[in-house]
Each structure stands twice: as structure tokens, then as C-alpha cells.
Chain A
């Protein structure tokens, strides 16, 4: 099955700096990579996702890059703000048609220091 590793487990940055979170996956056939943000006491919410036919996707201050050869993908947050403080999870699906199995990383707790 799919194995997803996420680093770092905790990350502290000064407000305005950039933050980068990295994930690796094991199944070379995986083709969809979402990122979820979970604020304290709240539900995980999708913030950005990327499919394997593109190498990078941006949405305002958030970007995700994908390296299929190396089997890793990264979340980039620029100009961080205190409201970016949360736990971020990467995920990858079990490959194959009809798969409902999404494997999550262990999460990265991001703290943005004002």
C-alpha cells in the first residue's frame, strides 16, 4: 500500500517569512496529492491539491510542487501570517481505479510568530 512520510513535524517561522513542508510517497502510480489544513479544534480543510500531470500549482500565497521522479511533493507558504498557524497534512491515494483509500502524513504543526 501507499506510504507517506512528512517533514518536519513542527515548524516555527517569523511572520512574513516563508514556510516549506515536504512529503514523500511510495506508490509511483499515485496521481493526486492534496494538502489539508487543520486549525486547533477544527476540521481538516483542503487548501490546495495537485495532479500528476503538472509540476506546480499556485493559489495566492500557497503553492505546491511535485517531483514524480523523486516521488515527493512540497507545500510552500509565502509571506506567512499568524492565521497560517495550524497543522498541515499531506496525502496520497492508493493507486488504481475505484480507490477510496487516502493515506495521510503525520502532520506538520506550523507556528507563525508575530
Chain B
């Protein structure tokens, strides 16, 4: 049991589709994150929410839209994606800021854009 659950595990979508990724954490943490993991690149931070307020937005294209309705749930809404957006999308949570507490990752959603 990971403590951070992501659905779906795999997603294939066309460039004109709209889909959403879901993340839920059962650890009572205050912060939640979306990371993108592409081959041969470092993990890239996309968004961070702390106590449901967005605190980081790393110049992510508007075709990615996050939503944090409460401290346990995080969504990533996808629309009009490009093939280069194909990657593993990882959700994570932490108790406090990353200088004080470690990240706990979910198993990720493997996204393929056709």
C-alpha cells in the first residue's frame, strides 16, 4: 500500500481528447505535487499545492490544468495535448516543505498521446 494512489495507471489519448488524472493521498500530508518523468530527463516539477493553495507553477503549458479540491485529492486535467507530452506523470505528497520532509510518490500514470 503506497499511501499515494493514482488512477488510471495507463492512459492513451488523442490530441483532441480531454481527460483527467486523479491522485489521492492517505497520509494526512499538507502538500501535493505533480511531476513529469520523461526518458533521459530529470523529474520535472509541474505544480505544487499546499493546504489546497497552489504554491508552485513551473511554466507549465495551459493544456495542463491542476485542481486541488481538498488536501487529500489532486487532479490534473488534460486537453489538446501534444505527442511530446507522453510521459509518466507522478503525484507525490509531503508533510511539510521539501527542505523539511521527504516526498512520497504514487505509482504514476503512463500517458501516451497519439
Main secondary structure of the interface of B (DSSP, over half): loop
Query: How far apart sit A24 and B108, CA to CA, in the bound complex (Å)?
Result: 27
Q: Residue among A99, A100, A103, A106 with the most chain B CB within 10 A?
A: A100
Contact in complex: B43, A89 (CB < 8 Å): yes
Chain B residue nearest to A49 (CB atoms) is B102
Contact: A102 with B42, CB < 8 Å? no
Cα distance A33–B107 in the bound complex, in angstroms = 22
Q: For chain A, which range describes its interface: under 10, 10 to 19, 20 to 34, or 35 or more residues?
A: 20 to 34
Chain B residues with CB below 8 A from A107, complex form: 42
B4-34 at interface with A (beta carbon < 8 Å): 4, 31, 33
A-chain residues with CB within 8 Å of residue B40 when the two chains form the complex: 106
User: Residues of A at under 8 Å CB distance from B?
Assistant: 4, 30-32, 34, 36, 42-46, 49, 89, 93, 95, 97-107
Q: Give 6 pairs: A residue, B residue, CB < 8 Å, sorted on A.
A: A42-B107, A46-B102, A89-B42, A95-B99, A101-B45, A103-B42
